[in-house]
Structures are given as structure tokens and as C-alpha cells.
């Protein structure tokens, strides 16, 4: 589902990713771990074509992102669900409107929008918060809205870039368990994080990055934290 | 159906963008309306002058004013020998003077008018040639022909056209700048939405179209204001021209009627094109998808 072959990414001559080779199969759940500056976010941005590699090739579902014309990037992103550390919710829109917004832009029928938003809110256990505004919700609830928005279009791949970065440990665990449940429904999930607690609690595949290089890729792995990565 | 729902959503986004822009909408609309009014006014004037020039220019007639002491009939025979002359009509100074006294109530003074010959020419390209040949006759004091006046009028029209284009271009540039700034503000205000929409896979068409439509809406409203103003001026001036300018009036009035609709159509298209292109350029510059 996700494949990177000999990927290098430089910013002004400074390497952010060095010869990264990675394969995530359909239905996999994987953590991408490493300290700040290890290259996790850069790798995630390559996957949703916010960036293009300096060299090497990135594939999503067999699609070569290097060859994807700029005017077709939106078609790739429709096949991805993306969750962000800062939630990226529209503050003046209700929870329902935040999730429905993208569906409206895609021309989905009003009746289907209601059904799909309700279903997504049900998955994240926020059925009763449809009419609430983001600032009326806790951080964990806002992130769950972000996840509902990411899955509302039924994407085969879910990318979560530091989804628990702004949350307390208990809420972080809830969020990552929610992502795990979404994975059980067949969605490929890749989470970038430096949160030791959530990685070690789930014992899933752990891909470790350090200074832009993959230093380990372990099934049912743990993350020793930043000290171990230095 | 899906497309129509997307278009509906784009229109709603456009409306929200217009609401968000507040007072700056009116700043853009007023500047663009002024530019379009000037352009439309000059366009209207030049089209009318063009029609006038054409009507005058196509009159195949030369008037020759004779010196005192020459027999009009003899001169007429001489002129009729010239090639391309169709006919020569003699207007004796006595009958011309009587006519003038009757229509303009002129005081009883000595007749100042010369004997006149109206020479009909076979083809328009021969008018100037005949006029210059007639003028060389020792019996002829002066000649006048409509083509000459038409040429002068044409020079005025060309000057107006150039001045109008320069002025319109300058105002259009100013308008584009104001539209650009307004759309830039909308983009800034909606930066987060745009970023989210882009990351969620919404097409650039959906993201940029509301902004381009907003620019086109500015153009449409500005054009309507300009058209309303020009129409009012036309309504006000038409009877005035008819009353005051007697002979020329029907010609100008009919020219105006013919070209008015075309001018309004041009204004509407130009307004919407300027508005939309200003927004298109700005959204291309500030929205990187």
C-alpha cells in the first residue's frame, strides 16, 4: 500500500531523509518513531505529496507520486485520511460542518453527507457533539473530530502525523486505540510519533528513524524513547 | 447531479466570500464602475462619431461657392464635362437667401451668399479629386464636401479613442490592484480552510472558483452601475440633442440607438473579464496547492 524506494530528501543541501526504503502492506498498522528532527514529518509529507523526494520513488497504492502531476494531487489525497497534531479544524464551524465540509466540496448528496458524518461520529464516539464548536470540546474530542473527518470519505490509508502531540497520556492512549480500531476495519494506518507510552502500549510494528535514516523496523516493537535514539 | 451540487457549493462559497469582504466590495465595485463608465462613454462616443463619419463620408456631393460676376450656368456646364460628375444643381444666391431669411428670420440686409453649385459625384473615391479640380477653376471661390468634415471628425474620434484607451487601461490597472488586494485579504482570512480543503483532496477548481466568481461578480455589478449611468445620460441627452442640433441630431440619435446595446454588452463582458482575471491572477499567486 505504501512503498518508498531509495528515498532521499534534502533541504538546501541538508539531508532530512537518507536512502529510506519502506513497505507498508494493505491493512498494516505501523508507528513511525524517532526524536524531533529525525525526519518523521518529512516522510509523512512525502506520502501526501506536500513534498516530493530529492531522489528515489514514493508509491501509494501502486501510484508513483513522483510522476503525479500537480493538478492531480487532490485525487491522491481523496484516497488518504490525514490526521494532524493541531487537529486543523475550522473554529467557526460546528463539528458536523467540519466533517461535512469536504464531502460538500466533493459534491456528495446531502442525504449521504448526513449518513456518512453520523457514521464517522459514531466511530469516534462523538454522536452527541454534532452541533458543538471546536472550542467547546476538549483536545481529545477535537482530535477525534479530526479523525472522523479523515475517515468520513472511507480512505484505504490513514496517515496520522503526531496525533497525540497536544494531548495528555490518557487521552493519547484513547486516540491511538481509536486508530487501532479503525485499522481493524481494514484501513492501513501509519502514525508518526515520539510518544513512547502509546507505542509501547500497542506493541505494533515500529519503524525507527534517526537523522533521516531508518535504523530499525520491528514487528510488535517498542520505542525506547529519545535517549535510545541518540 | 454531482456536478450541479459542486456548482451550488461553489456559489455558496462565493457568497460567503463576498460577505466576508464587507466594505472592500464597494471599494472595488466603485473603482471598476468608474473605469467602465469612462470606457463605455468613450466607446459610445467613438462609435457614434464613427457612424456619423460614415454617413457623412458616404455623401457623394461637393458644394462649390462661386465668385461674384460669374454665370452659374456656364460654370455648371464646364463642371459637368469632368469625368465622374453625375449631375450639377445650381442654387442661385437669391433663392438661397430667400430660403435662409424664411427659416432663420434674418434681418433685411444685403445678400451675402454666393451662387452655389451642388455637384453629385459617381463614386466616393472620386469626391476629393473632383473637389480639387473644381477648386482650381477661376470662377470658384471655395469648395466644401462632407468627406472633408468627416475626416476632421475622424481625427477627433481617433484622439478620443486613444485617450479613452489610455485612461481605461490606467483605471483597469488600478482596479486589478484593488481586486487583487481584496481577494488577497479573502485568501488570508480563509488560509486555514484552503489548507484543510487542499489536504483533504478537494480540487483546485473548487478552492479557486469561488474567488474567481467573486471577481466576476464585482465586474457584473460594476458593469450594471456603469450601464445605468450611461443609460441615464443617454435618456437625458437624447431630447437635448434632438432639440438643439437640428440637422445633425437625428443622425447622432440613430447612431446612439444602434450602438447602445453593443456598448452595454461590451461593458458587461469587459467588467466580468477584468474582475475574474484579477481574482484568477491573485489566487494563482497566493494559493499554492
SS (H, E, C) B237-282: HHHHHHHHCCCCHHHHHHHHHHHHHHHHHHHHHHHHHHHHHHHHHH
- Please indicate, yes or no, whether residues B46 and B73 belong to a single structural domain of this protein: no
- Please indicate, yes or no, whether residues B69 and B165 belong to a single structural domain of this protein: no
- Give me the pLDDT at residue A7, please: 93
For residue A195, pLDDT beyond 80: yes
Is residue B129 situated within a structural domain?
Answer: no
- Give me the pLDDT at residue A9, please: 93
CB contact (8 A) between residue B196 and residue A48: no
Among A70, A78, A88, select the one facing B201 at the smallest CB separation. A78
Domain end (from B122, B140, B168): B122
Cell 455589478 sits on residue: B221
Confidence class for position B249, pLDDT limits 50, 70, 90 = very low
- Please indicate, yes or no, whether residues B176 and B42 belong to a single structural domain of this protein: yes
Does residue B46 or residue B242 have the better pLDDT? Answer: B46
For residue B252, pLDDT beyond 70: no
Test mutation, A93, A105, A109, A152, chain B, max B CBs within 10 A? A105
CB contact (8 A) between residue A82 and residue B199: yes
* Per-residue buried b or exposed e for B58-94, using 16+ beta carbons within 10 Å of the residue's own CB: ebbbbbbbbeeebebeebbeebeebebbeebeebebe
- Give me the pLDDT at residue A180, please: 92
Ordered strands of the A188-193 beta sheet: A80-84, A157-161, A188-193, A29-33, A205-210, A213-218
Is residue B275 situated within a structural domain?
Answer: yes
Cell 507510552 sits on residue: A197
- Please indicate, yes or no, whether residues B110 and B209 belong to a single structural domain of this protein: no
* Per-residue buried b or exposed e for B262-287, using 16+ beta carbons within 10 Å of the residue's own CB: ebbebbbebbbebbbbbbbbbbeebb
CA pair distance B111, B96, nearest whole angstrom: 9
Looking at the structure of chain B, the number of domains it has is 2
B288 contact A CB<8A: no
Instruction: Using CB atoms within 10 Å of the CB of residue A93, give its burial: 0 to 12 exposed, 13 to 18 middle, 19+ buried.
Output: middle
CA pair distance B207, B229, nearest whole angstrom: 35
CB contact (8 A) between residue A149 and residue B200: yes
CB contact (8 A) between residue A107 and residue B3: yes
- Give me the pLDDT at residue B253, please: 52
CA distance A221 to chain B (A): 30
For residue B100, pLDDT beyond 80: no
- Please indicate, yes or no, whether residues B214 and B251 belong to a single structural domain of this protein: yes
CB contact (8 A) between residue B5 and residue A79: no
Test mutation, B16, B195, B201, chain A, max A CBs within 10 A? B201
Is residue B66 situated within a structural domain?
Answer: yes
Test mutation, B200, B205, B284, B288, chain A, max A CBs within 10 A? B200
For residue B55, pLDDT beyond 70: no
- Tell me: the pLDDT tens digits for B14-23? 888 888 777 8
- Give me the pLDDT at residue B217, please: 92
Is residue B74 situated within a structural domain?
Answer: yes
B232 contact A CB<8A: no
CA distance B204 to chain A (A): 7
- Give me the pLDDT at residue B2, please: 74
CA pair distance B136, A32, nearest whole angstrom: 101
Long-range residue pairs from A109-112, CB within 8 A, at least 24 positions apart, any chain: A109/B1, A109/B5
- Please indicate, yes or no, whether residues B202 and B245 belong to a single structural domain of this protein: yes
Is residue B135 situated within a structural domain?
Answer: no
The mean pLDDT of B172-201, rounded to a whole number, is: 84
Cell 457584473 sits on residue: B220
Nearest CA in chain A to B209: A105
Is residue B137 situated within a structural domain?
Answer: no
Of B16, B33, B21, whose CA–CA distance to B275 is shortest? B33
CA pair distance B113, B67, nearest whole angstrom: 10
- Tell me: the pLDDT tens digits for A40-74? 999 999 999 999 999 999 999 888 998 898 888 99
- Please indicate, yes or no, whether residues B52 and B179 belong to a single structural domain of this protein: yes
> Cell numbers at residue B59, please?
455623401
Do residues A192 and A160 make contact, with C-beta atoms less than 8 angstroms apart? yes
Going by C-beta distance under 8 Å and a sequence separation of 6 or more, which residues neighbour residue A124? A144, A145, A147, A148, A178
Handedness of CA A181, A184, A187, A189 (dihedral sign): positive
- Please indicate, yes or no, whether residues B99 and B30 belong to a single structural domain of this protein: no
Does residue B147 or residue B230 have the better pLDDT? Answer: B230
Beta strands in chain A (DSSP E): 2-11, 14-24, 29-33, 55-60, 63-64, 80-84, 157-161, 188-193, 205-210, 213-218
Q: Which of A208-212, B1-5, B86-90 has the lowest mean pLDDT?
A: B1-5
- Please indicate, yes or no, whether residues B37 and B81 belong to a single structural domain of this protein: no
- Please indicate, yes or no, whether residues B40 and B178 belong to a single structural domain of this protein: yes
Is residue B240 situated within a structural domain?
Answer: yes
Helix or strand (DSSP H, E) at A44? helix A40-47
Do residues A179 and A147 make contact, with C-beta atoms less than 8 angstroms apart? yes
Is residue B127 situated within a structural domain?
Answer: no
- Please indicate, yes or no, whether residues B170 and B86 belong to a single structural domain of this protein: no
- Give me the pLDDT at residue B19, please: 83
Domain end (from B106, B122, B138): B122
- Please indicate, yes or no, whether residues B77 and B188 belong to a single structural domain of this protein: no
Among B1, B199, B206, select the one facing A105 at the smallest CB separation. B206
Q: How many CB atoms lie within 10 A of CB B147?
A: 23
Cell 428670420 sits on residue: B105
Of B39, B7, B67, whose CA–CA distance to B171 is shortest? B39
CA pair distance A225, B273, nearest whole angstrom: 59
For residue B6, pLDDT beyond 50: yes
What is the extent of the structural domain holding B41? 10-56+150-286
Do residues B206 and A78 make contact, with C-beta atoms less than 8 angstroms apart? no
DSSP β-ladder status, A29-33 and A205-210? parallel
- Tell me: the pLDDT tens digits for B101-134? 777 666 677 788 889 999 988 877 778 888 889 9
Please give the backbone phi and psi of residue B264, each rounded to the nearest 5 degrees, phi first.
-65, -40
Q: How big is the A-B interface in CB pairs under 8 Å? A: 62
Amino acid at each position: 500500500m505504501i512503498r518508498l524506494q531509495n528515498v532521499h530528501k534534502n533541504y538546501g543541501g541538508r539531508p532530512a531523509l537518507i536512502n529510506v526504503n519502506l513497505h507498508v502492506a494493505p491493512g498494516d498498522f505501523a508507528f513511525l518513531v524517532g526524536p524531533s528532527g529525525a525526519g518523521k514529518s518529512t516522510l509523512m509529507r512525502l506520502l501526501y505529496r506536500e513534498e516530493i523526494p530529492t531522489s528515489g520513488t514514493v508509491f501509494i497504492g501502486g501510484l508513483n507520486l513522483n510522476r503525479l502531476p500537480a493538478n492531480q494531487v487532490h485525487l491522491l489525497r481523496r484516497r488518504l485520511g490525514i490526521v494532524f497534531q493541531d487537529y486543523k479544524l475550522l473554529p467557526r464551524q460546528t463539528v458536523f460542518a467540519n466533517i461535512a465540509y469536504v464531502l460538500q466540496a466533493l459534491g456528495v448528496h446531502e442525504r449521504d453527507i448526513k449518513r456518512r458524518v453520523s457514521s464517522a461520529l459514531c466511530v469516534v464516539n462523538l454522536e452527541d457533539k454534532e452541533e458543538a464548536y471546536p472550542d467547546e470540546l476538549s483536545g481529545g474530542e477535537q482530535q477525534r473530530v479530526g479523525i472522523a473527518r479523515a475517515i468520513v470519505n472511507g480512505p484505504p490509508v490513514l496517515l496520522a502525523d503526531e496525533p497525540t502531540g497536544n494531548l495528555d497520556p490518557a487521552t493519547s492512549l484513547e486516540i491511538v486505540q481509536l486508530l487501532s480500531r479503525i485499522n481493524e476495519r481494514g484501513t492501513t494506518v501509519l502514525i508518526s510519533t515520539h510518544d513512547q507510552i502509546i507505542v509501547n502500549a500497542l506493541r505494533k510494528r515500529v519503524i525507527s528513524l534517526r537523522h533521516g535514516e531508518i535504523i530499525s523496523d520491528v514487528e510488535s516493537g517498542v520505542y525506547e524513547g529519545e535517549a535510545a535514539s541518540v | 447531479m454531482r456536478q450541479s451540487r459542486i456548482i451550488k457549493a461553489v456559489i455558496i462559497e462565493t457568497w460567503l466570500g463576498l460577505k466576508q469582504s464587507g466594505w472592500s466590495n464597494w471599494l472595488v465595485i466603485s473603482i471598476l464602475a468608474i473605469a467602465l463608465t469612462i470606457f463605455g462613454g468613450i466607446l459610445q462616443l467613438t462609435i457614434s462619431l464613427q457612424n456619423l463619419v460614415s454617413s457623412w463620408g458616404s455623401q457623394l456631393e461637393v458644394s462649390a461657392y462661386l465668385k461674384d460676376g460669374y454665370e452659374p450656368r456656364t460654370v455648371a456646364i464646364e463642371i459637368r464635362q469632368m469625368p465622374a460628375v453625375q449631375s450639377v444643381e445650381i442654387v442661385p444666391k437669391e433663392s438661397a437667401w430667400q430660403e435662409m431669411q424664411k427659416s432663420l428670420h434674418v434681418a433685411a440686409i444685403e445678400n451675402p451668399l454666393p451662387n452655389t453649385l451642388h455637384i453629385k459625384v459617381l463614386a466616393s473615391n472620386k469626391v476629393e479629386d473632383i473637389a480639387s479640380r473644381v477648386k482650381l477653376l477661376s470662377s470658384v471661390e471655395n469648395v466644401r464636401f462632407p468627406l472633408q468634415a468627416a475626416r476632421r471628425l475622424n481625427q477627433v474620434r481617433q484622439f478620443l479613442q486613444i485617450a479613452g484607451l489610455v485612461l481605461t487601461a490606467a483605471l483597469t490597472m488600478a482596479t486589478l490592484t484593488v481586486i487583487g488586494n481584496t481577494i488577497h485579504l479573502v485568501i488570508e482570512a480563509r488560509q486555514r480552510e484552503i489548507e484543510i480543503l487542499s489536504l483533504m483532496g478537494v480540487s483546485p477548481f473548487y478552492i479557486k472558483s469561488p474567488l474567481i466568481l467573486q471577481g466576476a461578480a464585482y465586474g457584473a455589478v460594476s458593469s450594471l452601475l456603469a450601464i445605468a449611468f450611461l443609460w441615464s445620460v443617454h435618456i437625458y441627452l437624447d431630447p437635448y440633442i434632438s432639440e438643439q442640433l437640428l440637422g445633425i441630431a437625428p443622425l447622432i440619435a440613430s447612431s446612439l440607438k444602434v450602438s447602445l446595446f453593443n456598448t452595454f454588452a461590451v461593458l458587461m463582458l469587459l467588467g466580468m473579464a477584468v474582475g475574474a482575471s484579477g481574482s484568477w491572477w491573485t489566487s494563482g499567486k497566493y494559493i499554492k496547492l
